[in-house]
Amino acid sequence: MTCEKIVFVKSNILYNLETALKIAGVAQAFDGLGKVAVKLHMGEYGNLHYIRPAIVRQFVDILKNLGNSPFLFDTPTLYSGSRDTPSKYIDTARRNGFCSEVIGCPIIISDGASEIATKGAIGSIKVAKALCKADGILILSHGKGHPDLGFGGAIKNLAMGCVAKKTKKDLHTMSQPVLAAECGGCGKCVDACTKEGISLKDGKAVFNYDNCFGCGVCIQTCPVQALKPRSASIDTLFSETFFTIVEALRPKPIFFVNVLMDITPRCDCFPSAGKDEGFPICSDIGLLIGTDAISIDSASIDLIAKNCGDILEKIHHVNPMRLINTLKKDANSKGVKLIPYELLAL
Ligand code: SF4
Ligand code: SF4
């Protein structure tokens, strides 16, 4: 059976990267291509576990040697913090080691977006214009735990990281829980929520939407199905956004890289590593390169499970395969052929 090849660099990343990119087909697909967007989360201020600038510089140098004009790219955050405007983000990126002098290419932070209609619950999404204008795209993601999805990697970096604030907000608020039936007041949803997004008042569930990003754990936990998402589950919304972006960008070459190092319990949006949940939650594993985000995230989750058991689900109460399985189901209904992955270890 044909398999999706994922190149797995276990060690000596800086020395092995050029060979790995050749084996993965990146060097061939991006040979003299033109403008290449390297999508990267450059870390909230205070966080020290984002992808290291030395690794990013190596990607940029290789892309330039192939005759391209790469640029680092990200979108401002929805939440208030050190990256919620382009100018604040540029300042934070500099402090974190990402500036053109160090990385060797321009850094573009922009909320400019093109609107694309979708067929699902979201209705339309706003995709970053910088991606739409690029000739090729490298989605460079830090693989780690994620409070809403269990695992944050390629799918999250594309579907949440490459859209404007309006769509980021839709992804989180349209999946927040609402009461669908009589609440029995058992409190199981309160115990299951790790974010204090739900509590009991007068024996009934009430929501604190400021703390709730719509992970859906409470909905799954309720024994009497008293809860439902406002519009659709977070997995369904991510799937809709993911496939819409990929369809809009193809046939441009898109490659995905997951770096499984400094594996934190929470994403790089948090200003601390989450020491109370343990850090690192798994020892360094390496770097994965491939063309299919579903396969590369599946492989990342499998490798973390192989090395560290079900640590991702234990921390956030979210099975990291939940999102993957939703995307697989949606791919099937769209006629998108998915094949098993195979690791090619270097
Ligand atoms: S959706 Fe998640 S964060 Fe929101 S209340 Fe339910 S369990 Fe808590
Ligand atoms: S789990 Fe369901 S029944 Fe129990 S308190 Fe929460 S919403 Fe109410």
Cβ-contact 235, 216 below 8 angstroms: yes
- Residue 225 Cα: closest atom of ligand 2: 2
Among 178, 179, 182, 188, which is best to mutate for testing ligand 2, by the most ligand atoms less than 8 A from CB? 188
CATH code: domain of residue 327: 3.40.50.11440
Sign of the C-alpha dihedral computed for residues 222, 223, 226 and 230 taken in this order: positive
Nearest CA to ligand 1 atom 5: 197
Task: Output the CA–CA distances (angstroms, integers) from residue 62 to 114, 143, 288, 326, in the order listed.
Answer: 29, 22, 16, 35
* Exposure on the CB side of residue 40, measured as CA atoms within 13 A: 30
Q: From CA 276, how far away is CA 246, in angstroms rounded? A: 37
**Domain limits for position 189:** 176-229
List, for residues 35-69, the tens digit of each pLDDT value. Answer: 999 999 999 999 899 999 999 999 999 999 999 99
Protein residue whose Cα sits closest to atom 2 of ligand 2: 222
Q: 197 CA distance to ligand 2 centroid (A)?
A: 13
Same domain, 25 and 111: yes
Q: How far is the CA of 175 from the centre of ligand 2 (A)?
A: 17
Atom of ligand 2 nearest to the CA of 192: 1
The tens digit of pLDDT for each residue in 221-273 reads 999 999 999 999 999 999 999 999 999 998 999 999 999 999 998 888 888 76
Answer with the one of 214, 229, 244 that is the final residue of a domain: 229
**pLDDT computed for residue 268 by the predictor:** 86
User: 28 and 125, same structural domain?
Assistant: yes
Which of 210, 229, 248 represents a domain boundary (last residue)?
Answer: 229
- CB of residue 222 inside a 6 A radius of ligand 2: yes
Atom of ligand 1 nearest to the CA of 192: 7
**What's the number of domains the chain is made of?**
2
Per-residue pLDDT for 276 more than 70?
no
- Ligand with the closest atom to the CA of 202: 2
Last residue of a domain, one of 211, 229, 247: 229
Same domain, yes or no: 263 and 321: yes
pLDDT tens digit sequence for 289-340: 999 999 999 999 999 999 999 999 999 899 999 999 999 999 999 888 888 9
Alpha-carbon gap, residue 225 to 127, rounded angstroms = 34
Confidence of residue 278 (pLDDT cuts 50, 70, 90): low
The rounded distance, in Å, linking the Cα atoms of 173 and 142 is: 24
Q: Do 262 and 317 fall into the same domain?
A: yes
First CA to last CA distance, the chain = 22
Instruction: Based on the fold, state whether residues 254 and 307 are members of the same structural domain.
Output: yes
Atom of ligand 1 nearest to the CA of 148: 2
What are 56-102's pLDDT values in tens digits?
Answer: 999 999 999 999 999 999 999 998 999 999 999 999 999 999 999 99
Residues 149 and 278 in one domain: yes
Concatenated DSSP letters of 132-179:
HH-SEEEEEEE-EEETTTEEESHHHHHHTTTB-HHHHHHHHHTTSEEE
Q: Could you tell me if 203 and 308 lie in one domain? A: no
Residues 195 and 261 in one domain: no
Structure confidence at residue 4 (pLDDT): 86
CATH of the domain at 191: 3.30.70.20
Composition of the chain by helix, strand, coil, percent to 5:
35, 25, 40
Q: Which atom, in ligand 2's list, is nearest to the CA of 221?
A: 1
Q: Are residues 193 and 91 in the same domain?
A: no
Query: Which has more pLDDT, 1 or 132?
Result: 132
Ligand 2 near 183 CB (within 6 A): yes
* 286 and 220 share one domain: no
pTM confidence score = 0.95
Q: How far is the CA of 150 from the centre of ligand 2 (A)?
A: 22
Q: Is residue 219 within 6 Å of ligand 2 at its C-beta? A: no
Contact 286, 260 (CB under 8 A): yes
217 lines ligand 2 (CB under 6 A): no
Residues 6+ apart with CB under 8 A from 25: 255, 291
The answer on 237 and 163 residing in a single domain is yes
Same domain, 165 and 183: no
